[in-house]
């Protein structure tokens, strides 16, 4: 039975963050398993997995009002105009009522509902309350990890019977060898002679990301590892913390450049106090770079035993682990091999097959 899925591709028009990375990987995987997809936010556009951003012309991130108008009205209109059997919203949103066809919503995390700082403004409190009411109309919800599944059970127990777990995948670019030209360009831009101990952090700078911990740890580790640098690749370098000689903020980079940075890095560091999945850590595994991550449920689940895990506090302990791993090439090689093996279970083709089975069940 062929089921056509209308996929909400609205995030592709904005700043490239984890949501867009997952959406691009999902579309790649669905293409690999032959799943027909209609892009609801880009009607008539043939999304090309070989092109940056799938071939969507980059645009400024939509305003809060424009985003809300799309989620509450635009998406429903686009779905009604498309000949689709199922609508998939790959982030936490839904029109304010049930659609004529079944809907699937992917829940990456419940950070706005678990961390009060995300709802300080009245506008944000109203928005997230409405989102919760609207998502209740989804036929099925997909949690990207058992950790997120558990959070849904606690925060929104009424949703729980409709939730399935389908882990995210890792884009194939991270499994492939890096482009030598990108590696050379990154080395030149960072003024690297070669062989310097580099820590790579990729992600945002919100409080739960716990970046100050790894900054302090890098500073402390420099006492025994001269020249150690911490590369901070975030959603925007303008938001990066800059205190400390070890920290090296970088602007947003392309996937090809990020893959090159993984190749240059001695360790990938992921100090978050909370994650729904932990995409940078999984990318590090696929790239064959040893991963030092916080010991939190999502990291334990995604990384299994292929990484070094530490509690998300105590910078001196992190500094000791960093220094020890930098000095121990043999252990890093073992970690890299284990990471590559673990990453094989995180390919998008496998996730796409599970989504396809879900679509068929909902669209039948």
Residues in the chain: 364
**pLDDT for 243:** 58
296-317 residue pLDDT tens? 999 999 999 999 999 999 999 9
- Would you list the DSSP string of 310-335? E-S--HHHHHHHHHHHHH-HHHHHHH
Per domain, the residue ranges of the chain are 5-169+347-363, 172-345
- Residue 236 pLDDT exceeds 60: no
- What is the SS3 assignment for 144? coil
Q: Which residues pair with 293 in a beta bridge?
A: 270, 309
Stretch among 129-143, 155-169, 204-218, 246-260 having the lowest mean pLDDT = 246-260
Cα(243)–Cα(221) distance, rounded to whole angstroms?
15
Strand ranges of the sheet holding 247-250, from the earlier edge strand across to the other edge:
247-250, 229-233, 198-202, 267-270, 291-294, 308-310
Q: How far apart are the first and last CA of the chain?
A: 8
| Assigned token pair, 114 | 């678990």
The percentage of the chain sitting over the pLDDT mark of 70, rounded to a whole number, equals 96
| Token pair belonging to 27 | 């579309």
Residue 231's pLDDT band (cuts 50, 70, 90): very high
pLDDT at 237: 47
Hey, which of 3-17, 121-135, 270-284 has the most confident mean pLDDT? 270-284
Phi, psi of 143 (to 5 degrees): -90, 135
Tell me whether domains 5-169+347-363 and 172-345 share a fold: yes
Fold of 172-345: Rossmann fold (3.40.50)
Domain 5-169+347-363, CATH among 3.30.1330.40, 3.60.15.10, 3.40.50.2000, 3.40.220.10: 3.40.50.2000
Q: What does the pLDDT average to over 250-279? A: 94
Each residue of 94-118: pLDDT tens digit?
Answer: 999 999 999 999 999 999 999 887 8
Phi, then psi, of 314 in degrees rounded to 5 = 80, 75
**Res 238: pLDDT:** 47
Q: Burial of 158 by CB count in 10 Å (0-12 exposed, 13-18 middle, 19+ buried)?
A: exposed
Instruction: Please give the structure tokens belonging to residue 143.
Output: 């949690």
| pLDDT score of 248 | 82
DSSP secondary-structure letter at 103? Answer: E
């Amino acid at each position: 039975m062929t089921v056509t899925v209308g996929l909400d591709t609205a995030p592709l028009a904005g700043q490239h963050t984890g949501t867009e990375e997952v959406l691009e990987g999902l579309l790649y995987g669905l293409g690999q398993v032959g799943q027909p997809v209609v892009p609801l936010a880009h009607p008539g556009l043939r999304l090309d997995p070989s092109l940056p951003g799938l071939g969507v012309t980059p645009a400024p991130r939509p305003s809060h009002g424009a985003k809300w108008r799309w989620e509450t009205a635009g998406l429903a209109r686009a779905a009604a105009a498309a000949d689709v059997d199922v609508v998939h919203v790959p982030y936490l949103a839904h029109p304010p009522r049930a659609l004529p066809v079944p809907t699937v919503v992917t829940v990456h995390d419940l950070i706005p509902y678990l961390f009060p700082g995300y709802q300080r403004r009245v506008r944000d409190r109203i928005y997230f309350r409405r989102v919760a009411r609207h998502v209740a109309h989804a036929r099925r919800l997909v949690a990207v990890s058992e950790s997120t599944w558990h959070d849904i059970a606690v925060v929104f127990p009424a949703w729980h019977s409709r939730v399935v777990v389908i882990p995210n995948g890792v884009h194939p670019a991270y499994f492939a060898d890096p482009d030598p030209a990108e590696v050379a360009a990154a080395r030149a831009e960072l003024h690297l002679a070669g062989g310097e101990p580099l820590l790579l952090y990729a992600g945002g700078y919100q409080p739960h990301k716990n970046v100050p911990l790894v900054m302090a740890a890098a500073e402390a580790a420099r006492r025994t590892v001269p020249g150690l640098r911490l590369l901070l690749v975030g959603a925007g370098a303008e938001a990066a913390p800059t205190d400390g000689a070890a920290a090296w903020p970088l602007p947003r980079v392309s996937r090809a450049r990020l893959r090159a940075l993984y190749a240059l890095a001695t360790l990938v560091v992921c100090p978050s106090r909370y994650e729904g999945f932990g995409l940078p850590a999984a990318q590090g595994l696929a790239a064959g770079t040893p991963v030092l991550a916080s010991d939190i449920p999502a990291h334990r689940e995604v990384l299994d035993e292929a990484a070094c895990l530490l509690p998300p506090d105590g910078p001196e302990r992190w500094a000791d682990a960093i220094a020890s791993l930098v000095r121990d090439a043999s252990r890093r090689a073992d970690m890299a091999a284990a990471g590559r093996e673990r990453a094989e279970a995180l390919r998008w083709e496998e996730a796409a097959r599970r989504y396809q089975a879900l679509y068929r069940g909902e669209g039948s």
